[in-house]
Chains A and B, each alone.
Chain A
């Protein structure tokens, strides 16, 4: 590659870094990439896996925030059933079971909780949760997922037949973030863009 092109690439990378770290551009991009949050009654609240269980056996902050968001939605009476998804890895339980423990501890009756712990990707989660909920004739769900992944998750769940109400759990427009938080969000958005391309190529959405 000629050196001039390398320098243009380097200059663009440094300019992008400065804009991403010291302006609200990344937050705005995240906002534009995320479906608007809606709060309306549905037949079930579905929480996607994410974050997992820490070595201590407790949910990670990410996983706990999503679970708490779903518990609040249940408490608001928006749906009578909580479906908690998550990785089977973790000790003593996987993410889904640890989330269920938390939900029960917060007073959600065991009969209102279902878990799905075998899926490893969003695509597999959609298929397994559909298998779980189809016998109950559940079609309309409140989907709880992190902000960057919500649009893709929504499409994947709609593809298997659900009517999805998006409820992204993280802040969607935080203009006052710290540079480190903005760069972290930029990394998540970049990964999400790669995932979107992969899901499109694989025919999942």
Chain B
């Protein structure tokens, strides 16, 4: 039961944010679906950036072992900060993509369809 505390907290604050967003700040309900889609985009980009960062890191570590006498441990890549930095890269690139003229038009069309 204790293990469900964290998910329950997040579920409660999410419901609270939804209520505050729609009733206090007047956010449109149909915008939530777009926000969820955008979140999935960013999560997917995070996985891609993490894979590329890890692959490149592995190549650099193994390359430096082969080219120099200095030994670099592969375990240096096993660090939470790399996940956070990959997520940051994903947010920036995802936002850039979303704010580009083509993508913005697509979002407007989706939002209009949802309203209808």
A124 nearest in chain B by CB position:
B71
The CA of A194 and the CA of B75, in the complex, are separated in Å by 11
Among B72-116, those with CB < 8 Å from A are 73-75, 77-78, 80
The CA of A5 and the CA of B44, in the complex, are separated in Å by 8
Asked whether any CB of chain B lies closer than 8 Å to the CB of A32, the reply is no
The CA of A47 and the CA of B88, in the complex, are separated in Å by 39
Q: Which of B7, B37, B48, B78 contacts A7 (CB 8 A)?
A: B37
Q: Count of chain A residues with Cβ under 8 Å from any Cβ of B?
A: 22
Q: Count of chain B residues with Cβ under 8 Å from any Cβ of A?
A: 23
Number of A-B contacts defined by CB within 8 Å: 56
Contact present for B6 and A9 (CB under 8 Å): no
The CA of A173 and the CA of B92, in the complex, are separated in Å by 39
Which one of A10-18, A90-98, A126-134 is at the B interface?
A: A10-18
Contact present for A9 and B78 (CB under 8 Å): no
- Contacts A22-B3, A22-B6, A22-B7 given: A10-B44 contact, CB under 8 Å? yes
Chain B residues lying within 8 Å of A191, measured Cβ to Cβ, are: 74-75, 77-78
Chain B residues lying within 8 Å of A198, measured Cβ to Cβ, are: 74
Which residues of A does B touch, CB under 8 Å?
Answer: 1, 3, 5-11, 13-14, 18, 22, 120, 176, 179, 187-188, 191, 194-195, 198
The 4 closest A-B pairs by CB, nearest first: A10-B43, A10-B44, A6-B44, A10-B40
